[in-house]
Amino acid sequence: MKYKLSYFLFLIVLLSSCKDENQKRLSDNQKNAEKREVVFSKIKKGWVFNDTPINTATEGSVTTWNELRLFLAELAQKPKKSIEAFQEKSAAISKKAMALNDNVPAEFNKPQIKSRIATLITKVRLLDLFIHLDNIPAEKVVQLVAEINLELISLERQMDKIVTKNKIPLEQGESELMKMMDTARAIPNLKIDPNLPRVE
């Protein structure tokens, strides 16, 4: 009889502790859901990209540079349903940003453009990283969206400078001067063997 009573008390204690854990788990789930809703609303509000070209150079390059056009089209589509939709969108944007280095038009295949593309890719990858964290820092995600917009503007302005510079006609003899200054065309320095006889 003693054992039955002790088993019964043990069973009651076990069931009550399980009930407390379930209650605690439910309250934690509720808090997490509320926190994710706040993060979702902040990200949704701050997810605004400059997806339209700001100058004629970019508009012209969008027609010939397929990767840039696809990247801007991906930025134009804003997810609306959930955090997971934003995570999927950031992964897609990151993939499109990585492709920007492919097939760069010859006119823009310059170090100034390449460096801006590299910076843009870094910012997009950071956005993808932060939005996939367990505890998403919403402020950092919104800040990265603003930084990506600044990098896009910088890239477009540099493209405009290159187009403007290419429109300036060369002066007479300038092309020959440019060829002479080209170090790739220079005669390589030959090492002279000190044992060879010299004419002085």
Residue 176's φ and ψ, nearest 5 degrees, are -65, -40
The reply to whether 28 falls in a domain is no
Cα gap 197→180, rounded to integer Å: 32
**Structural tokens at position 26:** 């439910």
Q: Is residue 159 part of a domain?
A: yes
pLDDT at 43: 77
Mean pLDDT of 21-34: 68
Asked whether the beta carbons of 75 and 49 are under 8 A apart, the reply is yes
Q: Is the pLDDT confidence value at 174 over 70?
A: no
Residue 190 lies in a domain: no
Q: Report how far residue 105's alpha carbon sits from residue 66's, in angstroms, rounded to the nearest whole number.
A: 10
> Do residues 128 and 94 lie in contact, with contact meaning Cβ atoms separated by under 8 Å?
yes
pLDDT score recorded for residue 20: 56
- pLDDT, one tens digit per residue, over 37-80 is 777 778 778 777 777 766 776 677 667 777 888 888 888 888 87
- Average pLDDT, stretch 104-114? 81
State the Cα–Cα distance between residues 75 and 101, nearest whole angstrom: 17
Amino acid 29: pLDDT: 64
Count the alpha carbons within 13 Å of 152 in the hemisphere toward its beta carbon: 22
pLDDT of residue 175: 67
Task: Tell me the residue type at 153.
Answer: I
Helix/strand/coil for 133: coil
Domains held by the chain: number: 1
Residue-wise over 169-178: b if at least 16 C-beta within 10 A, else e? eeeeeeeeee
Is residue 198 over pLDDT 60?
A: yes
Instruction: Look at residue 171 and tell me whether its pLDDT is greater than 80.
Output: no
Q: Is the pLDDT of residue 19 over 70?
A: no
Tell me what pLDDT residue 172 has. Answer: 72
43 lies in some domain: yes
Q: What is the span of the domain harbouring residue 65?
A: 34-167
Examine residue 48 and state whether it is found in any structural domain, yes or no.
Answer: yes
Residue 196 lies in a domain: no
Mean pLDDT, the chain, integer = 76
Q: How would residue 1 be classed by pLDDT, with cut points 50, 70 and 90?
A: low
Per-residue pLDDT at 3: 64
Instruction: Considering only residues 32 and 97, tell me which one the structure prediction assigns the higher pLDDT.
Output: 97
CA distance 40 to 198: 80
Higher local confidence (pLDDT), 95 or 32: 95
Residue 18, phi then psi, degrees to nearest 5 = -65, -40
Give yes or no for residue 18 having a pLDDT over 60: no
pLDDT: is 35 or 115 the higher one? 115
38 located within any domain: yes
Residue count (the chain): 200
Residue 17 covered by a domain:
no
